[in-house]
Amino acid sequence: MTVQTERPPSGPSDVRKADGGGTGGTRARAASRAGALAPYLLLLPAAAATVLLLGWPLVKDGLLSFQNLNMAQLIQHVTEWTGFDNYKEVLTGEDFWRVTVRSIIFTAVNVVLTMVVGGLIGLLLARLGRVMRFVLMIGLVLAWAMPVVAATTVYQWLFAQRFGVVNWVLDKLGWHSMADFSWTGSQFSTFFVVTVLIVWMSVPFVAINLYAATTTIPDELYEAAALDGAGMWRSFTSVTLPFLRPFLYATTFLEVIWIFKAFVQVYTFNGGGPDRLTEILPVYAYIEGVGNQHYGMGAAIAVLTILILLGLTAYYLRIVLKQEEDEL
């Protein structure tokens, strides 16, 4: 009791000092303001680069999509604003929707194949011995590190009509009708080769990611599951899979984005041919815009492509966010 009655005077005076505008106080506040700014300053270079390299082209693309800009206008330096004409033409045309459906199916098939093959290889990595794992890892990283155009060129050679290794092997194995088969000759065979190429290039990322994820699973859980009577399949579905789920979501998300805009492989391999039958949205936008010199039209297709991709991934993002909520 006596202690309490003696103390109060010192308390409030302390508080006032901290509140009041002494020089020490302002300096401290200035320092803390600089401290609060620091994170934004550190973010600035990345933000500036993003705005400059992504934001500006995006704005430019948006503006172009409202203009009638063909070769003639480009040379004469005239700007013809046409409002939503480009969009109207694209959306009412048959081509755009056909290409959109094709793109979505193409993405779906590629993502599913990539995830299944990549997932299996990831699990294989987790079970291999050190040496074999190292060898496989190197192979994966090399496939991943391969420049896209170089890889596509190699695939063109592999699947070349007359001197390609693939046709030669198929011929030797007994499929003599494949001896001079033209892989670029039909829609399906072109997509087949492009799919093999894309899956081959995408698998390493998925495999290494999932392998990394499996290393976070404590061995004790498998032991507990074994004691609880779980067999191989049961401990996979009850222990491994729940741990991998967030990683599966994240990698699928990325693969959807990457494969949807896989312009280089498709365009380099067969230029969207034969007969524009293997054009997916980014290729379609490029061929319409740059190839056929309807720049405004190409820009409109590009904007729509972005919107479709946003739509696809938004739905997906929702699942991921919901999953995270459930986890908590």
Residues that bind other proteins (CB under 8 A): 218, 220-221, 223-231, 234, 238-239, 242-243, 327
Measured from the CB atom, is 46 or 232 closer to other proteins?
Answer: 232
**Distance in Å, CB of 226 to other proteins, minimum:** 4
Print burial letters for 262-272: b (CB count within 10 Å at least 16), e (below 16): bbebbbbbbbb
Which H, E and C letters describe 313-325, residue by residue? HHHHHHHHHHHHH
* Alpha helices for 185-288 (secondary structure H): 187-214, 219-227, 232-235, 241-260, 263-270, 281-286
Strand partners, 67: 81
Measured from the CB atom, is 24 or 242 closer to other proteins?
Answer: 242
Measured from the CB atom, is 45 or 129 closer to other proteins?
Answer: 129
Alpha-carbon gap, residue 143 to 148, rounded angstroms: 10
**Distance in Å, CB of 327 to other proteins, minimum:** 8
Smallest Cα–Cα separation from 289: which of 149, 106, 90, 59?
Answer: 90
Smallest Cα–Cα separation from 159: which of 145, 150, 170?
Answer: 170
**Angle ∠(60,63,68) on CA atoms, nearest 5:** 120
Check if the beta carbon of residue 191 is closer than 8 Å to that of residue 274.
no
**Distance in Å, CB of 227 to other proteins, minimum:** 5
**Distance in Å, CB of 229 to other proteins, minimum:** 4
* Alpha helices for the chain (secondary structure H): 2-6, 10-19, 23-50, 56-64, 71-76, 85-92, 94-127, 130-145, 148-158, 165-172, 187-214, 219-227, 232-235, 241-260, 263-270, 281-286, 295-327
Measured from the CB atom, is 147 or 229 closer to other proteins?
Answer: 229
**Distance in Å, CB of 205 to other proteins, minimum:** 25
**Distance in Å, CB of 279 to other proteins, minimum:** 43
**Distance in Å, CB of 233 to other proteins, minimum:** 11
Measured from the CB atom, is 19 or 219 closer to other proteins?
Answer: 219
Check if the beta carbon of residue 115 is closer than 8 Å to that of residue 244.
no
Measured from the CB atom, is 213 or 283 closer to other proteins?
Answer: 213
Measured from the CB atom, is 17 or 127 closer to other proteins?
Answer: 127
